[in-house]
Amino acid sequence: MTSADGTSPEPAALPASDSSGTAPLTSAQRVSAVLRRAVATGLVGEDQPVAGFLDTDGIRASVTSLHAAFAHAPEVLHTFAVKAASLTPVLRLLAGLGMGCEVASPGELRIALDAGVAPSRIVLDSPAKTRQEISEALALGVAVNADNLGELRRIDALRPAGSTSVVGLRVNPQVGGGSIGAMSTATATSKFGVALRDPGARDRVVRAFADRPWLTRLHAHVGSQGCPPALIAEGVAETYRLAEEINRTLGTRQITSLDIGGGLPVNFDGDETRPTFAAHTRMLGAAVPGLFDGRYALVTEFGRSLLAKNGFIGARVEYVKEAGGRRIAVTHAGAQTATRTVLMPDAWPLRIGAFDAGGDPRTGAPLCQDIAGPCCFAGDVVAHGRELPELEEGDLVVLYDTGAYYFSTPWAYNSLPRPAVHGFTTGRSGSVRLTTVRAAQTLDEIAAESGLAHVDALVSLARPPGD
């Protein structure tokens, strides 16, 4: 079966049957098995009403499929976009699977290094790098993609002699946006990169390379969710043509690598993976016939497409109520951990699963229900009018496909604690192994973050001098 974008769906990663003929668990069976184990061990329940879960087997399978899709490229560094899951144990797992890291802040650089990622396998991207950030990256040997020509001038002054850092320039091919404007980074007025179609910009880029023999990489990223693969391919093609033009103009192969970004969108309306990495590379090869011939080393920066389908949120139903004839289940998973879904529900809809207090799937006739969160504003609803088996107090709801950008980077609204995150693996018989990736935030930690150590600071400042 072929989808509207011309790609074939790929089933979600599942364990294969063994020689005994044991059938693999379905995705729903795995989730239920994990929930049952989490309830039995107290990881989800009245005392811990919300938690995130990551499928380590699924993550391994996704990375394997990425490497396989690019296997025909002679030289490629796959980096993981740390913002998609800024959890040190996740980065350590990915590093062991051959992944580097794409970082966009000092904090992300720190946790990538803490995870054991070699500086030479880290790429620093950010539109607002300070001189200190640039100096640290260049001293470590981290690759740096300058966002603009002004940043290149900073690098001129800061780059130490003999630096091993690869330095690139991010360009905006201005090929247009996708269906989610906030996720589209190649629009006419995007804040990212040098806008190539602006008057004189292309010539300025060529001159920037001519003046800096150490500037050897071009970088472009069209966007992510909502950007169709064809648009991403168009942006890569424009970047490739620019690299060819610069090298031809300079009469030498100064540009030796292309950072083609990531951004492959995720299918949130089913278990299948669509589009696949293999379909993506086929589309890239058709749009840019020379991309994989070894003329340029490649760097990728995938995030959501590696992690989203390999995680879910489990949350307790605290109350069930009626309002205006609508059934509302008030849960502990809302805007604090599903921020984009709550604030932009049409752009970021999530599938919801209904389970009983023990973790078994709820059965019964579907009932139209709202799934609300714990935040103190009326819009904190993760799903409106969903047809689900009737939920009761103490039941559990599951927010599927939330392995990236959800529980890993929560919003501290209402001083709600960051949820615990657990990794899991499942056996064919339904056995589950769980491990803690991040412990739930304590009230003492919230108090410390709120400035407890300086509790009298404003009071003392308000006293008249000399009192």
261: which 2 tokens? Answer: 């970004």
Say whether both 405 and 322 belong to one domain.
yes
pLDDT, tens only, 99-134? 999 999 999 999 999 999 999 999 999 999 999 999
Sign of the C-alpha dihedral, residues 382, 60, 115, 162?
A: negative
Give 228's DSSP letter.
-
Query: What's phi and psi for 78, nearest 5 deg?
Result: -90, 120
Q: What integer pLDDT is reported at residue 387 of this predicted model?
A: 97
Q: Each residue of 289-305: b (16+ CB within 10 Å) or e?
A: eebbeebbbbbbbbbbb
| Residue 416 within any structural domain of the chain | yes
252 with 359, same domain?
no
Which pLDDT does position 13 carry in this prediction?
A: 40
Q: Which residues fall within 8 angstroms of residue 323, CB to CB, at 6 or more apart?
A: none
Same domain, 296 and 318: no
Query: Are 193 and 146 a contacting pair, CB within 8 Å?
Result: no
Mean pLDDT of 438-464: 94
**pLDDT tens profile 171-182:** 989 888 888 888
Task: Examine residue 256 and state whether it is found in any structural domain, yes or no.
Answer: yes
In the numeric block, the tokens 């030498």 are attached to 252
Residue-wise pLDDT for 229-285, tens only, equals: 999 999 999 999 999 999 999 999 999 999 999 999 999 999 999 999 999 999 999
**Range 224-228 average pLDDT:** 88
Residue 92 exposure: Cα atoms within 13 Å on the Cβ side: 9
Same-domain pairing of 334 and 204: no
**pTM for this model (two decimals):** 0.92
Sign of dihedral through CA atoms 291, 202, 180, 129? positive
Q: What percent of the chain has pLDDT over 90?
A: 84
How far apart CA 311 and CA 34 sit, in angstroms, is 11
Q: Are residues 301 and 328 in the same domain?
A: no
Q: Is 101 among the residues known to form the active site?
A: no
The residue to which tokens 């409106």 are assigned: 384
What pLDDT score was predicted for residue 16?
A: 38
- pLDDT over threshold 90, residue 96: yes
Per-residue pLDDT, 20:
45
Pick from 275, 291, 308: which residue ends a domain?
308
- Say if residue 73's pLDDT is above 60: yes
What per-residue confidence (pLDDT) applies to 123? 98
466: confidence class by pLDDT, cuts 50, 70, 90:
low
Last residue of a domain, one of 250, 285, 308: 308
Residues 72, 45, single domain; the answer is no
Do 40 and 69 sit in the same domain of this protein?
no
Interatomic CA distance for residues 166 and 144, integer angstroms: 6
CA distances from 369 to 42, 150, 330, 331 (A): 27, 52, 10, 12
On whether both 163 and 267 belong to a single domain, the answer is: yes
201 & 267 share domain: yes
- Rounded to a whole number of angstroms, the distance between the first and last alpha carbons of the chain is 79
280 and 220 assigned to the same domain: yes
Q: Which amino acid, residue 50?
A: V
Per-residue pLDDT of 156-211, as tens digits, reads 999 999 899 999 999 989 888 888 888 888 888 888 899 999 999 999 999 999 99
Q: Say which CATH number the domain at 60 has.
A: 3.20.20.10
| Predicted confidence (pLDDT) at residue 14 exceeds the cutoff of 60 | no
| 461 belongs to a structural domain | no
Residues spanned by the domain of 384? 27-52+312-449
Residue 294 domain flag? yes
Residue after which a domain boundary falls, among 274, 293, 308: 308
Q: Is the pLDDT of residue 7 over 60?
A: no
On whether the CB atoms of residues 217 and 170 are closer than 8 A, the answer is: no
Q: What is the CATH number of the domain that holds 370?
A: 2.40.37.10
DSSP letters spanning 201-222? HHHHHHHHHHT-TTEEEEE---
Residue 170 falls within a domain, yes or no? yes
C-alpha distance from residue 58 to each of 12, 73, 78, 260, 346 (Å): 8, 24, 18, 24, 27
Is position 397 within any domain?
Answer: yes
Within a domain: residue 454? no
192 in any annotated domain: yes
281 and 430 share one domain: no
Indicate if 368 and 431 belong to the same structural domain: yes
Q: What is the pLDDT of residues 315-344, one digit of tens each?
A: 999 999 999 999 999 999 999 999 999 999
On whether the CB atoms of residues 248 and 289 are closer than 8 A, the answer is no
Active-site hit among 101, 368, 375, 376: 376
pLDDT bucket at 2, cuts 50 / 70 / 90 = very low
User: Do 117 and 91 touch, CB atoms closer than 8 A?
Assistant: yes
Domain count along the chain = 2
Please tell me the least confidently modeled range out of 195-199, 297-301, 443-447.
195-199
